[in-house]
Amino acid sequence: MRKMIMILVLLLAIDCYSQNKQILYNFTSVPQSLMTNPGADFKYDWYAGVPLLSGISANVGSSGFSAYDLFADNGVDFNIKLRNAVFSTTRKDKVAINEQIEIFNGGFKIAGEESDSYISFGMYQEFDMLSYVPKDIAILALDGNRDYLGKVFNLGDLSAKAEMLSVFHLGFHKNITEKLILGVRGKIYSSIYNANSTNNSGYIYTIPSETGVYEQMIYSQLQLNTSGIAPYDDEDYEPNVTKDITKRALLGGNLGLGFDAGFTYYPKKNIQLTASVIDVGFIKHSKEVESLTFKGTYKYEGVVPNFSSGNSAGGGYQEFKDAIPLDTLYADYTTWRPAKFNTSVQYSFDEERPEDCNCLNYDPETTYKSAVGAQLFVMSTPRTPLVAFTTYYRRKIFKALQMKATYTLDSYSYKNIGLGLSSHFGPVNFYVLADNLLEYSDVTKANSLSFQLGLNVIFKNSKK
Amino acid sequence: MKTLGLNRVISLSLLLLLSFSCASDLDYDQVNDIKLEPVFIANLAYFDIPANEFVTGGVEQNVIFDAPTVDVFNDSFFRKSLKKVDFFLEMENTIARAYVVDLVFLDRNNQVVHTTNFTVPEYTGLENKVTRTEIFENTQLDLLKRTVRIAFTLRMLPGAPLTETSSGNLKLRSGVTAYLVVE
């Protein structure tokens, strides 16, 4: 039981960065694949997700260290583990969590004269957290500056953001021609809270000097923007968190707009190309905003008596607070959603000839039992975009069971094997997707894990 | 019946996945054991007085004085974390007169908490430095933490008279090494 809770906690709490849904992408037996490509080749008369259960996904990643590295109950002093973890990371390492739960989701077909159009809609809640390892600041805290004479500590290492939001979406896709499907999806974001500190810069250094013993300089351009958090700072405020979250989730938060777009194209019957952009959008934060800044330049010289005027400098600490003041601002700000780009190429084989084929009314659309393909995923981050490359094999095991196996290379791991299963029992679709399967031998040592599952009801008219 | 079979396949594979998975014991309470021991270096005090500052209108000033404030110990976090302090002081004299330099650390009631003094001989063309290292721990450190001002007194000892054009400087460089323990 403990193990299960541990796994769940890890999956749901650490669901780190990637947001790469490499198993779900283009796995068109699952309706949620539309969320990764609004132009996915998914046909239905109508479908509905079971509310709250149709799409649960969590993603946790830490490229520099694992939970085991820090918290293993192995008798090693925590401070030693902490030092090892910090010194084994670089400023590029990150910890990321992403979690999504679909509140509701559904879709229906609009029959057209030439081709059918498909509408899909829904609402989901999302939590996103991304933090780079603030390595230089961690070194200063662990070691101080004595052993780092001449080193320039980079305050820009501090880069983190967290957001909880709800998303309302409406999508549309259509077969433009036999070979081409185009889709778009509009989104309204309602931010429940946001905190971000990603445009930081500055430095601290200490170098030997002929004037004093050292030349010491701090240049700081640090800023933390928050929205939806400020009221909880107020002692007089009696928080009703549930009420606040519900209100903000239902368009009462800071609002934003965005879109997804994508296509599926068949240059040949057994070759498929797809691509999509997801979450190209922004949120304008104007309600309950509060920003903290820590900006300025300070050169510390120590106590300097002034014998001639008697008007001496020396209030180093006060001088510092005046030079680099902690200010609170209440200005609106805008954040961009992490935009995601997916693309894939797929080759299908193993043509399927249904035994119960009604050959008089034969569906000209050939279906294939197997496919291999490759996918590329790119996501914008405050620094270098995140890139993942996936190869996969997809197979229809039975009529009602589809499987997709993936192998993914990214900055977290070079041995990420994932597996997805999607079953259809009558109209009921159940899917479960998990990656980093090799890490399940000890999940605490995993650098990243992701998990998605859900339950849908899909009605498809088998006749075209 | 077939769907039942499929159901079983999926349940089984889920079960397999979860039962093969395993988690080492983690102990998050270890966070409470955190103990940071950074060591910081910084300037302590500095001055550089040219010889002519000891002469005003052709008359020698034998004593000059200033007592600037020191407010680093105002910060309670710093005061609490500071466990040991080393001072490094270096007086260098290139003026052809000897000096006695007193540094007196005073608390808010003008009580002396620490004194350091140097006697620096006159400059004769050779390197003329006096250095000193002082270490503060425990009660001595507690006393030092009460400092709010440092009184600098520079006394010029008798010798060949200085003029407005006399050369040389009396220079203090000093640094501090602060050992913190944050728990």
Contact B18 A445 (CB under 8 A): no
Set of chain A residues whose Cβ sits within 8 Å of the Cβ of B148: none
Predicted local confidence at residue A364, as pLDDT: 47
Q: CA B96, CA B179: separation in Å to the nearest integer?
A: 39
Residue A33 and residue A23: Cα distance in Å, rounded? 9
Average pLDDT of the segment spanning A378-404? 89
Contacts of A73 in chain B (CB under 8 A): 24-27, 30
- Residue B7's pLDDT is what? 55
What integer pLDDT is reported at residue A1 of this predicted model? 41
What fold characterizes domain B34-180? Jelly Rolls (2.60.120)
ipTM, interface predicted TM-score of the complex: 0.79
Q: Give A107-148 pLDDT, tens digit per residue.
A: 999 887 777 889 999 999 999 888 898 899 999 989 999 999
Domain map (residue ranges) of chain A: 2-459
Of A81, A302, A400, the CB nearest to B46: A302
Which of residues A449 and A216 earns the better pLDDT score?
A216
Q: How far apart are the first and last CA of chain A?
A: 48
Average pLDDT of chain A is 84
Q: Tell which of A307, A417, A428, A450 to mutate to test the B interface (max B CBs under 10 Å).
A: A307
Out of A4, A73, A318, closest to residue B27 by CB: A73
Give pLDDT, residue A40: 92
Q: Which residues on chain A are in Cβ contact (under 8 Å) with B17?
A: 434, 437, 440
Q: How far apart are CA A103 and CA A107, in angstroms?
A: 14
Q: What is the pLDDT of residues A331-340, one digit of tens each?
A: 999 999 989 9
**Smallest Cα distance from A59 to chain B, Å:** 17
pLDDT for B18 equals: 55
Asked if B67 lies within 8 A of A305 by C-beta distance, the reply is: yes
Contacts of B178 in chain A (CB under 8 A): 144
Residue A463: pLDDT over 70: no
CA–CA min distance B139, chain A (Å):
23
Percent of chain A exceeding pLDDT 90 equals: 40
pLDDT at A253: 85
φ, ψ at A326 (rounded to 5°): -90, 105
Nearest to A305 by CA among B113, B27, B153, B71: B153
Task: Parse chain B into domains and list their residue ranges.
Answer: 34-180
Residue with tokens 């002093």: A77
Nearest-CB residue to A7 (from B23, B36, B149): B23
The per-residue pLDDT for B114 is 92
Contact criterion met (CB below 8 Å) for A202 and A222: yes
pLDDT band at A425 (very low <50, low <70, confident <90, very high): confident
CA distance, residue B92 to nearest chain A CA (Å): 12
- DSSP letters for B17-78: HHHH-----B-GGGGGG--B--EEEEEEEEEEEEGGGGEETTEE--EEEE--B--GGG-HHH
For A301, the closest of B46, B69, B150 (CB atoms) is: B46
* Cross-chain CB nearest to A212 (options B27, B46, B149): B46
Among A2-11, A89-98, A438-447, name the most confident range.
A89-98
Two tokens, residue A381:
């981050």
Interval A237-292: pLDDT, tens = 676 777 777 888 888 889 999 999 999 999 998 899 999 999 999 999 998 899 99
Which of A72, A79, A206 has the CB atom closest to B35's CB atom? Answer: A79
Q: The dihedral of CA A6, A12, A16, A18: what is its sign?
A: positive
- A38-78 pLDDT, tens digit each: 999 888 888 898 888 888 888 887 887 888 888 888 888 88
Which residue on chain A is closest to B28 by alpha carbon?
A: A71
Write down the residue that tokens 């953001």 correspond to.
Answer: A161
CB contact under 8 A, B24 and A426: no
Residue with tokens 């777009």: A261
State residue A413's pLDDT score: 78
Residues of B whose CB is below 8 A from A138? none
A401: chain B residues, CB-CB within 8 Å: 6, 9-10
Q: Nearest CA to CA, how far is A401 from chain B (Å)?
A: 8
Verify whether the Cβ–Cβ distance A303 to B23 is below 8 Å: no
B17 vs A437: CB contact, 8 Å cut-off?
yes
A288, A225, A99, A43 alpha-carbon torsion, rounded to 10°: 80
Contact call for residues B170 and B49 (beta carbons, < 8 A) = yes
In chain B, which residues have pLDDT < 50?
1-3
Amino acid at A411: S
**pLDDT-derived band at A7, boundaries 50, 70, 90:** very low
pLDDT at B73: 83
User: Could B40 and A145 be called an inter-chain contact, meaning their C-beta atoms sit closer than 8 Å?
Assistant: yes
Q: Which chain A residues are Cβ-neighbours of B6 within 8 angstroms? A: 398, 400-401, 423, 425
- State how far residue B86 is from chain A, nearest Cα, in angstroms: 12
Classify burial at B28, counting beta carbons within 10 Å of its beta carbon; exposed 0-12, middle 13-18, buried 19 or more: exposed
**Residue of B66, B150, B170 for testing the chain A interface, max A β-carbons within 10 Å:** B66
Q: Burial of A185 by CB count in 10 Å (0-12 exposed, 13-18 middle, 19+ buried)?
A: buried
Contact (CB<8Å) B42/A302: yes
CATH placement of domain A2-459: 2.40.160
Q: Give the count of Cβ contacts less than 8 A between chain A and B.
A: 188
Encode pLDDT of A69-113 as tens digits: 888 888 888 888 888 888 888 888 888 888 889 999 999 998 877
